[in-house]
Each structure stands twice: as structure tokens, then as C-alpha cells.
Amino acid sequence: MLAGGVKLFQTANNEKKVEILAVGQEVVLGDMTVSVRAIIQGDQETIATVQMMGVDGADAREGWRLLTGATVLQPAKQTSQGGVSCGTVSVDIPVQCDVVFAPTTGRITVAYLRSGLQRQWSK
């Protein structure tokens, strides 16, 4: 019982530092090279313009999330009327598109998850 309490205490005090990347900063997660090029918060939607390459045929919208307060948002089904819809990724040619989320206010963070890794961008 005491050992379990000590382990719980160690886990509770184990702070993980999360690196927030600047918009435009490129990173490699597993087999994908990604970056967030712009973040636009509007009345109708929040748009993250992203750039990716690395896996032929991968869904460019898959893995993106929007963090706002204590809420995690998935991409919306539709694309922005004036934006570039996300199709599939190429292994050697960067693909840039708009990942659309529900409208948000305040400070937000765009996250990408792949191969058990996560990176985050904020403006």
C-alpha cells in the first residue's frame, strides 16, 4: 500500500514540459514532415493552414486537433468556402491545405498526432 502511494506521489509530481512551436516551424513526426503555416479565428470557423509531406495517400486532415481551454476539437467535415480543402499527402511534394474547425475565441493551440508523437503550434 505504501509503495503504491509513493508511486502515485512520484507520478503526480512528474511534470512534462510541452514545447509549443511557432507558426511556420516545421517538424518531423514519425514518417511525416508537418508545419502549421497560419491560424485564423473567424466568426464562422477557425482555420489552420497546414503543410505536410511524407506518406503517399495519407489523409491530410487525419491527426489534427484544436485545443481551446479544456476542449479538444476534431476537424469539421466541411472545408472553408474560400479555403483549400485537404486531400491526400505525397511522399516528396509538400501539400498545403486548410484544416477547418468550429469557431473559437481566446488562445488556441493546433496539435498534430502521428506515430505516438504530438506537436503543438500557437500564434
- The whole-angstrom separation of Cα 78 and Cα 4 is 48
Inter-residue contact 120 to 19 (CB < 8 Å)? yes
**64 in any annotated domain:** yes
- The whole-angstrom separation of Cα 38 and Cα 101 is 13
**4 in any annotated domain:** no
**8 in any annotated domain:** no
Range in 2-6, 14-18, 50-54, 92-96 with the lowest mean pLDDT: 2-6
**pTM for the predicted model, two decimal places:** 0.83
pLDDT at 2: 43
The domain tally of the chain equals 1
Range in 7-16, 28-37, 51-60, 107-116 with the lowest mean pLDDT: 7-16
**37 in any annotated domain:** yes
The parent domain of residue 90 ranges over: 20-122
C-alpha cell belonging to residue 31: 514518417
**31 in any annotated domain:** yes
At 22, the amino acid letter reads A
- The whole-angstrom separation of Cα 87 and Cα 79 is 11
